[in-house]
Amino acid sequence: MKITSELVNRYLKNQCSAEEATYLENYIRYGDPNLETLLPEEDWNSVDGDLDYANQEDIRKNIFASIEKNRIRIHRIRIFINLSKVAAAFILFLGVYGILNQFTKTLVSVHSETATMSINSTESSNLYYINSGNDIMTLTASDGSIITLYPKSEIKYPEDFSNLKERILYLKGKAKFNVTKDINKPFRVHSTGVTTTALGTIFIVDELKSTQTQVKLLEGKIEVKAQAANEERNLVRTIMPNEEITLDHHDLTIVEEVKVHKSGIDRGGYFLQNAAVIQFKNIALEDVINVLIQNYDIDLHYDKRKISNKFYSGHFNNTKQVYKEIIQEINYLHHVEISYTFPNK
C-alpha cells in the first residue's frame, strides 16, 4: 500500500478503511517518515478543522509546553504552531509521545545525555544550558574552565569571557567548577542568594533547598558571600581545600560547616545546626566564635591570644538563647573570658 497525502487526509476525516488506518499508523510509528511529504503545509488548509476527539485540550497543552521547554523557534511545522484541532488530532492518532519525540529529534539540538541547550534569544552572547536528563553534563567555557552540570540543573554564562572584566555565571541547581586560573579575572558563580568567587580552583555549588546552598572546595581557595536584601547584614566566608559550608541565605546563618586544620594533628572539625540541635565537633574556637556572631547577630569580646590553637566540641538543644550556654561552657573549659553585646541597630 502506498502512503499518500490523500490517504492521510482521509485518515484525519475518519474516511479510510480499518486496513488503511492500521497500515498508516504502523508506518508512522515504526518507519522513518518525512511528515511534510506525507501532508505538505498547503494541504492542511484543505482539511476540515472541526473534528472532535478525546483529550484534545490536554494534547494541545502538552505540545506547546514541549515547544516552550526547548525554546527553539519552529518554522513551517503547522502541527506545532497551528492551534487547529486537526493538528492535535493528527498527533493523537499517530501516538502523541512517539511522534512528539520524533519531531523533537528533528527540530531540537538535544544533548546525548538528554540534556538540552539553547541560546537566550534576548542575549545572543550568553549560553544557557539545561540538564534535564539523569546523567551529568560536561561543558567547557571559553577560558577553558570545565563545568560539570548535574541533573535537573541549569546554568547561564557568556559565550566569550575575553572582553569581560569578570567571569560571571548563573547557576540553578548543582554544578562542579574546575576553574582556569586568571588572577585578573575573578570567576563568580551566582546561585540563589549566594555568590562564590574564585581565581583558579575546583569547587561544587549545590542549591539544596529554596533557602539553603552548600559549597564544597576541592582545590584552591574561594570566598562565599550572601547578603541581606536591605544590605545591613552579610555572610562572608573564606573556604580552604576539603572544607565545605552550608548556609541559609535567607536568614544569613551557617547551617553546617566542615573545617580542616593544618597545624598539629589532623583535627578536622564539624558544625551542624538544625531546628532541634546545635553540634560542634573539634571546631577551632575562632571558628566557633565566628558562627555565634553570624547566627545570633551578636558582638563577642575576647582576647585573641587566649583562643589560639584551642578547639571545642559540644552538643546543645537549639533554643533562641543557646549562645549563652555555649559561651558559658567555653569560658569554663578553656579558661577564657568571652562576653557578648548586641550591635547597635
pLDDT at 118: 40
pLDDT value at residue 13:
66
Do 187 and 152 meet the contact criterion of CB atoms below 8 Å apart? no
Rounded CA-CA distance 300/340 in Å is 4
Given a cut of 90, is residue 246 above it in pLDDT?
yes
Question: What pLDDT was estimated at residue 32?
Answer: 45
Q: What is the pLDDT of residue 72?
A: 42
Cell digits of residue 93: 492518532
Residue 158 near residue 187, CB atoms below 8 Å: no
End-to-end CA gap in the chain: 84
How far apart CA 288 and CA 311 sit, in angstroms, is 9
CB 274 within 8 A of CB 317: no
**What percentage of the chain has pLDDT greater than the value 70?**
66
Question: What is the Cα gyration radius of the chain?
Answer: 29
- The string over 178-210, giving b where at least 16 C-beta atoms fall within 10 Å of a residue's C-beta and e elsewhere, is bbbebeebebbbbbbbbbbbbbebbbbbbbeee
Cα gap 201→197, rounded to integer Å: 10
Residue 163: pLDDT over 50: yes
Q: What's phi and psi for 36, nearest 5 deg?
A: -70, -30
pLDDT (average), residues 193-211:
91
The residue with greater pLDDT, 64 or 18, is 18
Mean confidence (pLDDT) of the chain:
76
Highest mean pLDDT among 44-48, 136-140, 207-211: 136-140
pLDDT of residue 332: 94
- How many residues in total does the chain contain? 345
155 secondary structure, DSSP code: E
Contact predicate 157/175, CB 8 Å: no
- What are the grid coordinates assigned to 226, written together? 550572601
CA 291, CA 253: separation in Å to the nearest integer? 8
Burial class (CB in 10 A: 0-12, 13-18, 19+), 218: middle
Of residues 137 and 261, the one with the higher pLDDT is 137
Q: Mean pLDDT over residues 221-227, rounded?
A: 93
204: three-class secondary structure by DSSP: strand
CA-wise closest residue to 213 among 239, 230, 190? 190
Q: Are 185 and 204 spatial neighbours (Cβ–Cβ below 8 Å)?
A: no
Average pLDDT of span 190-204: 93
User: Distance (Å, rounded) from C-alpha 185 to C-alpha 142?
Assistant: 13
What is the predicted pLDDT for the residue at 18? 72
Cα 253–chain centre separation: 22
Angle between helices 85-94 and 96-107 (to 10 degrees): 100
State the pLDDT confidence band at 106, using cuts at 50, 70 and 90.
Answer: very low
Q: In this structure, are residues 227 and 251 in contact, taking their beta carbons and an 8 Å threshold?
A: no
| Three cell numbers, residue 23 | 497500515
User: What residues have CB less than 8 Å from 220, skipping those under 6 apart?
Assistant: 179, 198, 199, 200, 201, 202, 203, 241
Which of these, 182, 180, 181, 217, lies nearest to 196 by C-alpha position?
217
Quickly tell me which residue has 540538564 as its cell.
131
Give the pLDDT band of residue 115 (cuts 50, 70, 90): very low
Alpha-carbon distance of 37 to 309, in angstroms, equals: 78
The residues, any chain, with a CB within 8 Å of residue 312's CB and separated by 6 or more, are 280, 282, 283, 284, 285, 288, 330, 333, 334
- At 19-63, the pLDDT tens digits run 777 666 666 655 545 554 555 555 545 545 444 545 556 655 655
What average pLDDT does the segment 156-180 reach?
A: 95
Q: Give the DSSP H/E element, type plus range, for residue 99.
A: helix 96-107
Average pLDDT over residues 90-116: 39
Amino acid letter, residue 292: L
Higher pLDDT, 293 or 43: 293
